[in-house]
Structure 1
Amino acid sequence: EASLAQAGAVTSPQAARRTLDVHRRAFLENELHGAWRRVIAMVVQPGVDFDQSSIQHYDADAATELSAFVAEQPGLVFEAHSTDYQRETALHAMVRDHFAILKVGPAATFALREALFALCQIEEELLPAHATSQLMQVLDDVMVAKPKNWIKHYLGTPDEQRLMRRYGLSDRCRYYWGEPEVAAAVAKLLANLDTVAIPLPLLSQHLPEQYLAVVQGSLPAQAPALIEHKIGSLLAQYARACNRNAAVPVIAEAAIC
């Protein structure tokens, strides 16, 4: 807990001012006045972060001085670093406090993984074992065979590492969806589910939010649409926070191989 709080310490107004002054001088000394006028934001830490299983939530009181600093800079807002897994109320508060560009990455790919794993569980209920995609196992096998993208992040016993590979909030498995074996398993999963009707009780069990949309008639019970809806529901929180607080809903993706 202490290390998470330390990692997510709020940027001091003094550090923000130094960063702004250094960059302003660099632009102006190189006669880039026009380019400097197009600068709209600087990246700061508003006091939010996460590790594999816990979240440091936004504390508006702790960010008061930093928020007041940027309010005095005409035409400038903050880009909030690492807003993944924040409550929607916190996203609204951050935008209100001039952290108007919300950076999100792992939370979006985490939603993708959740949707695919849920569909795997549905697939296992509907098809014989020999015909299923085995996506969850294929993904883990590839991650174990190619540990570069997770080994420094997931410490602990082999069992703890296995859980984090599958479910950790940092979602290091996002770097593996492009691996040929994993991509082939995803394709097989989608193809398998395209041959059957997904029963409503299974949707309710494994994808409850999507189930509600399906029964309301706004979403087809088809795997690609269910995945898109799952991710879209997460990103919609950011759009609402920006739109309702008169900010442009800019979302920066994390790198995905």
Structure 2
Amino acid sequence: MTGIDRIIAENRGGRHVGLPSWCTAHPETLAAILRCYRDDSAPILIEATCNQVNQHGGYTGMTPATFRDFVHAIARAQGIDPARIILGGDHLGPNPWKHLPAPEAMANAREMVAAYSGAGFTKIHLDASMACGGETLTEETMAARAADLAAVAEPHRPHYVIGTEVPVPGGEVAPLDALGITTPEAVTRTLALHRMAFADRGLPFDRILAIVVQPGVDFGNDRIYPFAPAAAATLCAAAPALNGPLYEAHSTDYQSAQSLAALVRGHFPILKVGPELTFAFRQAVFAMEALGRMLGLPSNVETTLRQTMHNDPSDWRAYVAADDREAAMMLYGLSDRVRYYWPRPHVQSAVTALYDRLRAATPEPGLVAQVTGGMVRSSDPATLPETIIDTMVGAVVRRYRQACED
């Protein structure tokens, strides 16, 4: 039994255990996450999305095999055995090609799933919930397409995640009045349709680990929709009777420690988090820039970011209202659209220059504590940037890991 299915089985059996799913391709953020695992041997689940990584490179420029090598190289650099890492593919389906006719979109999706499973990704989220080329899509067709994608991956025998009530990746674009919680009847129907589609293709249904449902959890650029256990009680109580799969929670970013622990108790053993991780990295960089100002060091990270984002608003415009709060929310919004701009050369140069100046400085512990929210301890100037990043990103990692421990 592998790490992930052991955790699922233990949760099904009544232990309040789970596994965070770290959804980021940002190298410094990944390195900080992995450093949090140096003192134990726990499995580490890292996932890439269909738009981020695919056979054509996605917006990161990485194929699944390239992403695997990228993650493993970071792990080795941080003293982590790559064998501990479980790689997952998120929202694998026709989404990147949904503007195309369904046959063409699904052909691309099958090629992508083959690339992911062939590269050693052992957790595959089958998501065929989006209409292609303006079609009208039924639940039966969603399940059939998910099974078609599983058939491509099956030679590599991965674990699957299914589900059609999937939150918007990266957070909601527009405010919602309320979130509809998935009903147990909808879960039963989704499982039945997928069971039938898998059986028609001779595929093993017992390797479906989880189903993505909506427990009433989400976030937008300026709001958080907190988990309300009482509202989701019926959904949670139905999980043991599913006779196999449990639940996977998407868009859990910014939920409190108590809410995350309640999700795990409610049979959501997989908690996915993405933008909050790079939000914490941005906090760390801005804290370093504030520290630099206190030391009289020049830095232009925020200025460069703003200019770069204004010159190319394509990755943030849809998430930020064009009003008097725009200047603040483009940088500080919870959807963290800033993450798309860190790789830009001018931004990278500004960040590297900031790191170099801080490494050459010797800030007093009290100054470091002031910008990090209380980190009063001596630190090696040579690794000060990493220490500050670890403080910010590590706080997110610890909250999730503690919620997943019985």
Normalised to the residue count of structure 1, the TM-score between the two structures is 0.85
Partner of 2:365: 200
Q: Of the candidates 351, 354, 357, which is equivalent to residue 189 of structure 1?
A: 354
1:47 aligned residue: 216
Which residue, out of 148, 165, 171, partners 2:314? 148
- Counterparts of 1:72 and 1:220, CA distance in 2: 53
Distance 1:53 1:195 in 2: 37
Note the alpha carbon deviations across 1:72-93, whole angstroms, 9 max, x for none.
1123211111111111011111
**Which position in structure 1 is the counterpart of 2:397?**
235
Alignment of 1:14 with 2:180, yes or no, is no
SS at match of 1:144: helix
> Structure 1: which 5+ runs fail to align?
245-257
Q: CA deviation at 1:99?
A: 1.1
Structure that is richer in strand per residue: 2
CA contact (8 A) 1:5 1:56 kept: no
Check 1:5–1:64 CA distance in 2 against 1; reply closer, same or farther (3 A cut): farther
Q: Which whole-Å CA distance do the structure 2 matches of 1:224 and 1:127 have between them? A: 21
- 1:54-73 alignment runs, 5 A limit: 54-73=223-242
- SS of the residue corresponding to residue 99 of structure 1 reads coil
> Are 1:117 and 2:289 matched, yes or no?
no
Task: Provide the alpha-carbon RMSD of the alignment.
Answer: 1.7
Pair 1:225-2:225 in alignment: no
- Partner Cα distance (2:393, 2:346) in 1: 23
Residue number among 56, 71, 78 corresponding to 2:247 in the alignment: 78
Matched position secondary structure for 1:103: strand
Deviation at 1:4, TM superposition (A): 3.0
Aligned: 1:25 with 2:196: yes
Residues 4/198 of structure 1: CA separation in 2 closer, same or farther (3 Å cut)? farther
Distance 2:380 2:276 in 1: 24
Matched-pair contact (CA < 8 Å) for 2:288–2:388 = no
Q: Aligned partner of 2:183: which letter?
A: S
Give, in angstroms, the shift of residue 243 of structure 1: 1.7
User: What displacement does 1:114 show?
Assistant: 0.5
The answer to whether the Cα contact below 8 Å between 2:248 and 2:269 also exists between their aligned partners in 1 is yes
The answer on whether the counterparts of 1:80 and 1:102 sit within 8 Å (CA) in structure 2 is yes
CA–CA distance in structure 2, aligned partners of residues 92 and 120 of structure 1: 34
User: Residues of 2 paired with 1:111 and 1:140: CA distance?
Assistant: 18
Instruction: Determine the structure 1 residue equivalent to 2:206.
Output: 37
Local SS of the residue matching 2:322: coil
Using the TM superposition, give the Cα deviation of residue 112 of structure 1 relative to its aligned residue in structure 2, in angstroms: 0.5
Q: Distance in 2 between matches of 1:97 and 1:189?
A: 44
Contact 2:372 2:391 in 1 (8 A): no
Name the counterpart of 1:4: 176
Counterpart in the other structure of 1:248: none
Q: Secondary structure at the match of 2:325?
A: helix
Show CA shifts across 1:33-57 (max 9, x none): 2xx2111111111101222222111
Contact 1:133 1:188 in 2 (8 A): yes
Structure with greater contact order relative to length (CA < 8 Å, sep ≥ 6)? 1
| Residues 52 and 168 in structure 1, CA contact (< 8 A), matched pair in contact too | yes
Between the two proteins, the alignment pairs up a number of residues equal to 231
Contact 1:4 1:56 in 2 (8 A): no
CA distance in 1, matches of 2:391, 2:316: 28
For residues 147 and 39 of structure 1, the distance between their equivalents in structure 2, rounded to whole angstroms, comes to 39
Q: Distance in 2 between matches of 1:241 and 1:26?
A: 35
Read off the aligned partner of 1:30 and give its amino acid letter: R
Q: Corresponding residue for 1:250?
A: none
Using the alignment, how far apart are the partners of 1:114 and 1:14 within structure 2?
A: 42
Letter in 2 for 1:4: L
Q: Offset of 1:19 from its aligned partner?
A: 1.7
Among 329, 333, 345, the residue aligned to 1:168 = 333
Question: Could you tell me which residue of structure 1 aligns to residue 145 of structure 2?
Answer: none
Q: Corresponding residue for 2:304?
A: 138
